[in-house]
Amino acid sequence: MLTDTHCHLFYDNLKNDLENVLSRANEMNVTRFICVGTNIKDSKESLSISEDNQNIFSSVGVHPHDSKDIEEGYIEEIYELMEFESMIAIGEIGLDYFRNISDPEIQKKVFRQQIEVAQDLNRPIIFHNRDADSDIIEILSDYPEVIGVAHCFSSTIETANSLLEMGYYISFSGNITFKNSHLSDVIKTIPMDRILVETDSPYLSPEPHRGKTNEPSRVRIVAEKLAEIKNVSFEDIAKYTHENASELFQLP
C-alpha cells in the first residue's frame, strides 16, 4: 500500500474526475491521500473532499505565494478548520524565494504565524521550500517542538541533514525521475524511517508523463524510483513510506 502524502485534488482537472482518479490510484495500490490546501478557500474545498472519503485526509494552510492575500482573522479560520476529524496537518506553508510572488518579509511572517498554530495544536506541518534553505532552517529552529515534512524536497544534503536532526521527514516527488535530477545522492543518505512519497498532483508528473496532468496513481513511479536509487525492494519502500505517513500524521 502507498500513501500519496501531498496532492491537490480540489483543482478542477482532478476534482471533476475524482472517482476515476481514485480508482486508477487503487489499481496501483495507492490507498491513502493527503489533500493539501494552499489558501483558506481551497483548504475548505479540500475538507469537503476528505469529509466525504474515508481514505482522504486534508491539511489547511496558506502557501507562500498566497501569503500576500491573507485576510484578517485567517488564523482563527485555520483553528476552526482544524477541528474536523479529517484535518490532520498545517500546510502547505513555507518560503518560495524562486518566484517571490509574495514579498519575503510577508512570507516569513505568515510562515511563523502558522507554525505557531501547529505548535499550539501539536500537529505536524507540511512545508514548501524553494531557494530559501537558510531562512527555513533558521525559522524552524525557533520551534523545536514542531515536526513535519519537507515536501517535494529538492535541496542539498546539508539541508536534509539539518532537517533530519530537527526531527523532520523528507518527501520526494516526481522530479526525482527527471533526467537532470541531482537528488540521487541526497536520497541515498535519508534513513528509511524518515522518507515519504508524494505526487504534488496535478503538478510535477514523473517521467514518462512529464508535462501532463499528474495524479496520485503515479506516486507508484516515485516509489519505484526511490527503490532503485536506494537499492532496496519496492515492497520495502512502500511499507516504510506508508508506515512513516501513519506515524507522522497519526493516520488510522
Residues within the interface to Zn ion (CB under 5 A): 128, 200
CB of 83 vs Zn ion, minimal distance in Å: 23
Which lies closer to Zn ion via its Cβ, residue 6 or residue 194?
A: 6
CB of 8 vs Zn ion, minimal distance in Å: 6
What whole-number distance in Å separates Cα of residue 100 and Cα of residue 82?
28
Which lies closer to Zn ion via its Cβ, residue 4 or residue 200?
A: 200
CB of 145 vs Zn ion, minimal distance in Å: 24
Q: What is the DSSP string of the chain?
A: -EEEEEE-TTSHHHHTTHHHHHHHHHHTTEEEEEEEPSSHHHHHHHHHHHHH-TTEEEEE---GGGGGG--TTHHHHHHHHTTSTTEEEEEEEEEETTT-SS-HHHHHHHHHHHHHHHHHHT--EEEEEES-HHHHHHHHHT-TT--EEETT--S-HHHHHHHHHTT-EEEE-GGGGSTT--THHHHHHS-GGGEEE---BTS-PPTTSTTSPP-GGGHHHHHHHHHHHHTS-HHHHHHHHHHHHHHHHT--
User: Cell 478557500 identifies what position?
Assistant: 41
Which residue has the CB atom at the shortest distance from Zn ion? 128
CB of 146 vs Zn ion, minimal distance in Å: 18
Which lies closer to Zn ion via its Cβ, residue 128 or residue 220?
A: 128
Reported as half-sphere exposure (CB side, CA atoms, 13 A), residue 244 has a value of 27
CB of 214 vs Zn ion, minimal distance in Å: 11
Which lies closer to Zn ion via its Cβ, residue 32 or residue 128?
A: 128
Grid cell digits, residue 241: 513510506
CB of 231 vs Zn ion, minimal distance in Å: 28
